[in-house]
């Protein structure tokens, strides 16, 4: 090692050997101290990193354990929910099966009731013998009907009726069977053969029957149009409780042979309506002592007679979804003056179906037509 002094080179080893040694010792001691310091610092850092790594590992293990516990809880809840869903599903299915079974029992019962109700209606053979050239349109709104038709033949006289009981469906069907039974009692057993007296007896017996069963006065009952036709002399008695009689006879509405009154109305060319008494077969305050009215008409060959419940004229439909109305019904009947009875029935059925279209049936429908 040399140092420059006053423009010349001076050797420390030459001038001062001790200084040289000191310098050399100092020079070599610096790297060694630094290495020791760095090694010590690295060791500390390494230890810190190792501790941090251990901490991180512990945290990771803790998180993994927590996640495992969380998954176990979720799995447990899932199993519990699945079990609850299975139990609820089984409970719902059981109730559904029970409801289906009850519904089947009810449906079977109502279907059986329909068979019973159909069985008490006059058979076609009996009606053909009693009424001759006739049709019946019978369309219950539900499985069973509150409307019914009835007939009885006694010698030259045939009694026939269309009744519309309170309500429809099962309640109406029960009332129809009561009405049918009472008509049998009044006409067949008691031999009452006058139209007005039959309705008077039907009303009083029905009210008495309902009071016995319920213990109080009820307004349940029926509307009815009833006729007694003597086929020997071709006279027809009619009495009605809210349901009119329609008589089609050629030119009867314009030939002047019959005059209009409060009870007789003439329409178009061939139609005469005998208006029913505005009182039902049943309890009505202030009307219980008012007897029903008997009308007698002389029929001619080729005449047509119609009695009906209000189901046909009350059916909703058409372009504006309104009732068919009595006017449309009368106008249609007026065109039947020369039509055969089978065609009349076909036209009536087709007309109401086209009128109804996609609407549900409003009420029970029952129509009887007779061609003399």
Q: Tell me the per-residue pLDDT of 53-69, one tens digit each, with 9 for 90 and over.
A: 888 888 888 888 888 88
Tokens of 273: 């309506």
Q: Tell me the per-residue pLDDT of 107-154, one tens digit each, with 9 for 90 and over.
A: 777 888 888 888 999 999 999 999 999 999 999 998 889 999 999 999
Q: Tell me the per-residue pLDDT of 289-310, one tens digit each, with 9 for 90 and over.
A: 899 999 999 999 999 999 999 9
How far apart are the C-alpha atoms of 41 and 62, rounded to whole Å?
31
Total residue length of the chain? 372
What number of other Cβ atoms are within 10 A of residue 268's Cβ?
A: 14
How far apart are the C-alpha atoms of 68 and 74, rounded to whole Å?
10
Q: Is 36 exposed, middle or buried (0-12, 13-18, 19+ CB in 10 A)?
A: exposed
Superfamily of domain 121-371: PPM-type phosphatase domain (3.60.40.10)
Cβ atoms of 225 and 276 closer than 8 Å:
yes
For residue 76, the SS3 value is: helix
Instruction: Judge whether residue 3 has pLDDT over 50.
Output: no
Q: How confident is the model at residue 5 (pLDDT cuts 50, 70, 90)?
A: very low
pLDDT for the residue 311: 96
In Å, how far are 97, 106, 112, 157 from 100, measured between CA atoms?
5, 10, 18, 50
Q: How confident is the model at residue 10 (pLDDT cuts 50, 70, 90)?
A: very low
Strands (E), 242-349: 245-248, 264-267, 271-274, 281-282, 295-298, 304-308, 316-317, 322-323
Q: How confident is the model at residue 1 (pLDDT cuts 50, 70, 90)?
A: very low
Q: Which of 198, 270, 210, 207 is nearest to 240 (CA)?
A: 198
What number of other Cβ atoms are within 10 A of residue 114's Cβ?
A: 16
Strands (E), the chain: 2-5, 8-11, 133-139, 147-154, 157-165, 221-230, 235-241, 245-248, 264-267, 271-274, 281-282, 295-298, 304-308, 316-317, 322-323, 365-371
Predicted TM-score (pTM) of the model is 0.74
Alpha-helix runs per DSSP H in 195-246 = 195-214
Q: Domains of the chain: which residue ranges?
A: 1-120, 121-371
Residues with Cβ within 8 Å of residue 356, at least 6 apart in sequence: 315, 316, 317
DSSP string, 8-41: EEEEHHHH-HHHHHHHHHHHHHHHHHHHHHHHHH
């Amino acid at each position: 090692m040399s140092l420059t002094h006053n423009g010349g080179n001076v050797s420390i080893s030459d001038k001062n050997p001790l200084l040289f040694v000191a310098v050399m010792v100092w020079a070599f001691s610096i790297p060694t101290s630094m290495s020791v310091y760095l090694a010590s610092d690295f060791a500390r850092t390494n230890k810190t990193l190792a501790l941090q790594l251990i901490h991180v590992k512990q945290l990771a293990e803790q998180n993994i354990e927590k996640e495992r516990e969380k998954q176990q809880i979720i799995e447990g809840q899932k199993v519990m929910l699945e079990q609850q869903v299975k139990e609820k599903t089984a409970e719902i299915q059981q109730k559904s099966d029970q409801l289906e079974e009850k519904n089947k029992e009810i449906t079977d019962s109502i279907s059986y009731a329909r068979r019973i109700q159909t069985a008490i209606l006059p058979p076609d053979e009996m009606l053909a013998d009693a009424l001759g050239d006739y049709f019946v349109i019978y369309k219950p709104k539900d499985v069973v009907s509150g409307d019914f038709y009835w007939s009885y033949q006694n010698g030259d006289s045939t009694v026939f009726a269309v009744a519309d009981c309170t309500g429809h469906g099962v309640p109406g069907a029960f009332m129809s069977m009561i009405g049918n039974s009472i008509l049998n009692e009044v006409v067949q057993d008691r031999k009452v053969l006058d139209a007005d007296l039959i309705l008077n007896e039907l009303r009083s017996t029905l009210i008495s029957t309902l009071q016995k069963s319920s213990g109080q006065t009820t307004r349940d009952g029926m509307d009815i149009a009833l006729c007694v036709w003597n086929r020997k002399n071709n006279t027809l008695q009619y009495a009605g409780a809210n349901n009119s009689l329609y008589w089609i006879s050629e030119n009867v509405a314009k030939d002047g042979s019959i005059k209009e009154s409060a009870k007789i109305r003439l329409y178009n060319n061939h139609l005469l309506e005998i208006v029913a008494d505005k009182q039902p077969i049943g309890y009505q305050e202030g009307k219980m002592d008012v007897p029903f009215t008997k009308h007698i008409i002389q029929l001619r060959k080729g005449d047509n007679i119609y009695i009906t419940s209000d189901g046909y004229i009350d059916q909703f439909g058409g372009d504006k979804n309104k009732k068919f109305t009595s006017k449309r019904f009368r106008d249609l009947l007026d065109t039947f003056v020369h039509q055969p009875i089978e065609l009349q029935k076909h036209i009536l059925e087709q007309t109401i179906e086209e009128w109804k279209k996609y609407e549900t049936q409003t009420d029970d429908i029952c129509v009887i037509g007779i061609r003399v």
